[in-house]
Structure 1
Amino acid sequence: MDVLSDAVAAMRTGRPHSARRDKYAPWGVRFAAAEEAGFHVVLRGSAWLIPAEGEPMALAPGDVAFLAHGQEHALASGLDVPLHEVRLLPDGTWSTPPPDGARSACADTVTLCGTYRLDRSRAHRLLAELPQVVHLPAKVGTHRSLRAAVELLGLELEEAQPGSAAIVTSLLDTLLLYILRAWWQTEREAGRLRGWSAALADPAISAALRAMHGDPAHPWTVEELGARGGLSRAAFARRFTTLVGEPPLTYLTWWRMTTAGRLLRHDDLPLRRIAQRIGYTSEFAFAKAFKREYGVAPGQYRRGS
């Protein structure tokens, strides 16, 4: 099983949204803090990404900026232009800012922006450890899959065609994984992997994670998980806790409950079947563990109350 894909699926909810914008200098928009994660891509021209904290970043054509934590930020043609507030609408899209500067035959800058709705209560540790801004500069020969996804998404948003709604949603989901993969590869090449991102690069720990994610119903033991990576029980437990931030069986319980929550919200399986899928032979034991984790009974959680 793909742990990175599971980490994203654990907190993704609703449909992602995206828009392609032609910008005419001078222009500037400020995005308020939100639960959503978002990205900005400069397709043509240039822009400044201005985070609430930290130094502004110059974005060139092909650059990708991903903000995983929904913090306030601005995007502008310059550092001294007025910023117009935009707000998040109930459907997950952003309100349209006022018109930019004088229009010409060709826009000064073309941007591609998108948002992903997230359930912060089930935030996976991998995403929680991301920096405030993931900046992926465009470089020849690097992250070719990411560049291809950006180009395809830009084309679909430029002119709606039959099937565009489904294609855009799929491309946005794909783009999110490409962004995270590109960041992880960049950090690994630079020797900067820490915590969860380092766990994915560790053969022994990643083998154990794949096993837990692939079969959460299995009655895993620390010794059995360690054997997956060729480590003794004690050595595996120490390394796993150091990198992941908690003991192996504590993480296994968290993942089981996260999987159960997703099944309750998106599937109509009876509680007995869900309990079996995550390793509980008793529906009562599952309900007790679930309430301890979520604070509500499984049935109440399924109803969204």
Structure 2
Amino acid sequence: MDVVSDAISAVRMGRPSSDRVWAEGSWCTRVDPYDGAGFHVVLSGSCWLLPDGGVPVSLGAGDSVLLPHGTGHVIADSPVDSGTAGRAAPIESRLGGRKSPADRGGSGGTEMLCGKYRLDRNRMHPLMAELPAVVHLPNRVGSHPELRSAIDLLGRELETPRAGSCIAVPSLLDLLLVYLIRSWLTEGSTGAWPAVLGDPVASAALRALHSDPAAPWTNDRLAAEAGVSRPTLARRFTALVGRPPMAYLTWWRLTYAATLLRDTEDPLATVARRVGYGTPYAFSHAFSREFGTTPGRYRAAAAGRSTAD
């Protein structure tokens, strides 16, 4: 696994959802805050997105926008003031009202692909936590070809459901999330994690730790893996990541363990072994110190949240 894959896997829960939305004339719709991440892709036409507490964003055909923290927002045909936003209809009123190309004629209008991902925010990787409230990826010729391809494939599956669509659509939605985050990382963003992943020393060390978190890592072994001296690794890793290599390893092992407890039925001994602890007792002690609860209680609470959702 790599850092981006692990960061997404640690928070992603259940199956994502999506639908096509069609609107024409004067319209204004609202998406309430959501305990997950939302996205919109403008397939045709244009619109405006007004995030709660933010500034309006103009969206054109081919533009993508990710709201990784589930920020409430309004989407409308034109810029809106707070009064108009307060009277916006829920987005559910626009679902299922899409016109076919033949029915649209020359009336214009806007068609979007909208969806949500369920996320477990109890233990977010800092890469996910530092994503801005709105990630806007304009449609520019030659930029993010993988993202464009995923959008095209997803749009076709939703346009005409065919054999296997029930598997294809969730898989394409997962792929879309990866490409949206990857595109943000390559846009020259000013956040810490684009710099971390762009640094050859820090990124090499992170790749090693995420590839095999259960290995008996030491600072010396990790420095050799990154091809630098131990002091150089410690200085660069700590400055960029925000914590020393072994402290990050401990944090990631326990975060990964929380994901295993949530998503698998592996016995405690198996989870402990997969994250580098020699005995269930040592693992349970470390987990309780980090999370404030035992692994068993954490698993039960996670199962309760999943059932409630």
- Alignment partner, residue 75 of structure 1: 75
- Alignment partner, residue 132 of structure 2: 131
- Alignment partner, residue 180 of structure 1: 181
Residues 190-214 of structure 1: CA distance to partner in whole angstroms, max 9, x if unpaired? Answer: xx44412211111111111011111
CA contact (8 A) 2:21 2:96 kept: no
Residues 151-196 of structure 1: CA distance to partner in whole angstroms, max 9, x if unpaired? Answer: 1111111222222121110000000011111111111xxxx44412
Q: Following TM superposition, by how much is the alpha carbon of 1:301 offset from its aligned partner in structure 2, in angstroms?
A: 1.9
Q: 1:256 aligns with which of 247, 253, 256?
A: 253
CA contact (8 A) 2:23 2:111 kept: yes
Letter in 2 for 1:156: E
Q: 1:223 aligns with which of 217, 220, 225?
A: 220
- Alignment partner, residue 151 of structure 2: 150
Q: Distance in 1 between matches of 2:3 and 2:252?
A: 11
Number of residue pairs aligned between Structure 1 and Structure 2? 293
Letter in 2 for 1:255: W
CA contact (8 A) 1:22 1:107 kept: no
- Alignment partner, residue 88 of structure 2: 84
2:15 match: secondary structure? coil
Aligned counterparts, 1:275-286, within 5 A: 275-286=272-283
Residues 206-232 of structure 1: CA distance to partner in whole angstroms, max 9, x if unpaired? Answer: 111011111111121122212222222
Structure 1 runs not aligned, ≥5 long: 87-93
Is 1:37 equivalent to 2:37 in the alignment?
yes
RMSD after superposition: 2.1
- Which structure has greater helix proportion? 2
CA contact (8 A) 1:45 1:60 kept: yes
Q: Distance in 2 between matches of 1:284 and 1:158?
A: 52
- Alignment partner, residue 271 of structure 1: 268
Aligned counterparts, 1:207-246, within 5 A: 207-246=204-243
Query: TM-score, normalised on structure 1?
Result: 0.90
Structure 2 runs not aligned, ≥5 long: 98-102, 305-309
Letter in 2 for 1:23: A
CA contact (8 A) 1:63 1:135 kept: yes
C-alpha change, 1:76 and 1:217, in structure 2 (3 Å) is: same
Q: Distance in 2 between matches of 1:143 and 1:125?
A: 24
- Alignment partner, residue 202 of structure 2: 205
Q: Following TM superposition, by how much is the alpha carbon of 1:303 offset from its aligned partner in structure 2, in angstroms?
A: 2.2
| Residue identity (%) | 49
CA contact (8 A) 1:204 1:228 kept: no
- More deviation in 265-274 or 8-17? 265-274
Query: TM-score, normalised on structure 2?
Result: 0.89
Is 1:28 equivalent to 2:33 in the alignment?
no
Q: Distance in 2 between matches of 1:201 and 1:38?
A: 27
Letter in 1 for 2:44: R
